A and B are shown apart, each in its own frame.
Chain A
């Protein structure tokens, strides 16, 4: 076989191998995609919630993608309460890990309120220590809660499993075994009184 033929043969080998590998890689894509969540799983992955069903100060725990979520209608007092105790918090601006941030956290106020609008908090109810659902203890001080909360309690959640504390924006308080703020979750307003979670 002369050099010209060899050259042509080698070129064809390279093209055939290249196209073959590209074809095989492309063929693998549908199989990998088929293992990702299917359309029915994705359809069930959003939960709608009617905010009008919450009276001021009321908390509801609902299910989203199989997990518990807190939806809290915050009173003006509660909203005032979450400003001014930054020194108590581990991560007041929710910067520690991606999961405590959300795509909708655009302004400083939203980073403090940890919600799109201050009146309604929609936050993960899974304690970032080991996964329990913390107990709601909204009023500040020890009057309603006794020794279960510290004397400078600003109001928020107390996880009874291992003693972590969160404020009324779900931000973790120093001294808690939990490392991070309650995780933020994606949601949006469909109209004034309804949110779509997920």
Chain B
């Protein structure tokens, strides 16, 4: 049916003037994909679906949300009130809001799995370095987007989370305090901060969408990796993206939607992890809630910030954590891609993933000597992974690689 549509005279007329049909034909239909991709390759398309859900639900929320900290009595504000209005008075507002909150956590969950696939199977290695760099950049833009968005409900955690993180800018040498004031638009997080964060939260997902297109173009230039890590170049080892991977991705998306719908309709607060209990109390600038920790998906990075005893040291460590992620293609010197065939790297990668989870767990809890110690050990593993990598290929004995699929 799609073929019939693309072969019409109208399609031809458009294609003569834009290359649209040839573009669609190559990138969505003919794109040669290895036969052997497993379901870890489904997360990219699932992430795209979630991005679209977030943009659509976000737009409809923005039709009713008001970014203003003007007080409406009892500690409540116009912003907080507008969110409750969406939940109660706007037709199906509750559904749109819950989809957006569950969507945000889902987005990070899926992207973490997507990145894990990239690290495990060596998809970051040449010639896919730029693909990887664009991906890490997308991850950072996602983090900024969610940081701006979390302030909008103007709850206790919204306010104090923003206060703590914008304070961190203050530790930047020389320009610190100037930078903090610039970001906040005032001397503390307040109305100017809220309005600009709303503007930025609206903009960033659209920027994200544009860069995702670059991400896919970079992928299509080098072609996809596969679970063996061995380049699949022969015609017998690749199949066209449509119908094979369109239907496979649809199945993956279906499974995702079932889990997504369960949370939206039956557990929207996600056991207190998607929508945190304290954030249902309006922001009180005079009283900090018991434990402030970021939402679960930012906790590993928050723990890196906290584990260094000095404020500046923490910022430097966090920056280094992301820079090392960018440098991954050049730190790892082994010509073998997939961890399946690299006994030493494989153990390191699993330890690396566990370390991130442990740092997340610690980051969620208040600072106690025990959590601090465990967090630092995990941090050591995280940084150790990158620092050890350049040397691994020297003493690792990779397993024999399989022949090209279908050859």
Q: How far is the CB of A34 from the nearest CB of chain B, in Å?
A: 5
The residue that A40 contacts in the complex, of B63, B85, B96, B250, with Cβ under 8 A, is: B85
B26-34, B38-46, B87-95, B224-232 - the one binding chain A: B87-95
A35-B63 in contact given A16-B250, A40-B85 (Cβ < 8 Å)? yes
Interface residues of B in 30-69 (CB under 8 A from A): 56, 60, 63-64
B contact residues around A34 at 8 Å (CB)? 60, 63-64, 90-93, 96
A31-B85 in contact given A36-B91, A38-B90 (Cβ < 8 Å)? no
Chain A's closest residue to B96 (CB) is A34
Please tell me if the beta carbons of A40 and B89 are within 8 angstroms of each other in the complex. Answer: yes
A33 to B94, CA, bound (A): 12
Please tell me if the beta carbons of A33 and B91 are within 8 angstroms of each other in the complex. Answer: yes
A168 to B1, CA, bound (A): 65
A contact residues around B92 at 8 Å (CB)? 30-31, 33-34
Q: How far is the CB of B310 from the nearest CB of chain A, in Å?
A: 48
Chain A's closest residue to B63 (CB) is A35
Interface of A is mostly: helix
B: interface residue count bin: 10 to 19
Q: How far is the CB of A108 from the nearest CB of chain B, in Å?
A: 40
Chain B's closest residue to A14 (CB) is B1
The residue that A38 contacts in the complex, of B56, B89, B95, with Cβ under 8 A, is: B89
A34 to B96, CA, bound (A): 9
A contact residues around B88 at 8 Å (CB)? 39
A-B contact count (CB 8 A): 36
A30-B95 in contact given A16-B250, A35-B63, A38-B85 (Cβ < 8 Å)? yes
Please tell me if the beta carbons of B250 and A38 are within 8 angstroms of each other in the complex. Answer: no
Chain B's closest residue to A16 (CB) is B250
Please tell me if the beta carbons of B250 and A39 are within 8 angstroms of each other in the complex. Answer: no
Q: How far is the CB of A154 from the nearest CB of chain B, in Å?
A: 46
B contact residues around A30 at 8 Å (CB)? 91-92, 95-96
Contact string against A for B residues 87-119, beta-carbon threshold 8 Å, 1 for contact and 0 otherwise: 011111101100000000000000000000000
B contact residues around A38 at 8 Å (CB)? 64, 85, 89-91, 93
Q: How far is the CB of B97 from the nearest CB of chain A, in Å?
A: 10
Interface residues of A in 141-165 (CB under 8 A from B): none
A135 to B1, CA, bound (A): 65
Chain B's closest residue to A12 (CB) is B247
A16 to B251, CA, bound (A): 11
Q: How far is the CB of A24 from the nearest CB of chain B, in Å?
A: 12
A contact residues around B95 at 8 Å (CB)? 30
B contact residues around A36 at 8 Å (CB)? 91
A contact residues around B250 at 8 Å (CB)? 16
B contact residues around A41 at 8 Å (CB)? 89
Chain A's closest residue to B93 (CB) is A34
B contact residues around A31 at 8 Å (CB)? 56, 60, 92, 96
Chain A's closest residue to B251 (CB) is A16
A36 to B64, CA, bound (A): 12
A136 to B160, CA, bound (A): 60
Chain A's closest residue to B90 (CB) is A38
The residue that A39 contacts in the complex, of B60, B64, B91, with Cβ under 8 A, is: B91
Interface residues of A in 24-60 (CB under 8 A from B): 30-31, 33-36, 38-41
Q: How far is the CB of A11 from the nearest CB of chain B, in Å?
A: 14
A34 to B250, CA, bound (A): 28
A33 to B60, CA, bound (A): 11
Chain B's closest residue to A42 (CB) is B89
A83 to B209, CA, bound (A): 69
**Which residues of B does A touch, CB under 8 Å?**
1, 56, 60, 63-64, 85, 88-93, 95-96, 250
- Can you list 19 contacts pairing A with B, beta carbon distance less than 8 Å? A17-B1, A30-B92, A30-B95, A30-B96, A31-B60, A31-B92, A31-B96, A33-B92, A34-B60, A34-B63, A34-B90, A34-B92, A35-B60, A38-B64, A38-B85, A38-B90, A39-B88, A40-B85, A40-B89
Q: What are the nearest 9 A-B pairs in CB distance?
A: A30-B92, A39-B89, A33-B91, A38-B89, A40-B89, A38-B90, A34-B92, A34-B91, A30-B95
Q: A35-B63, A38-B90 are in contact. List 8 more A-B contacts (CB 8 A).
A: A30-B96, A33-B91, A34-B91, A38-B64, A38-B89, A39-B88, A39-B91, A40-B89
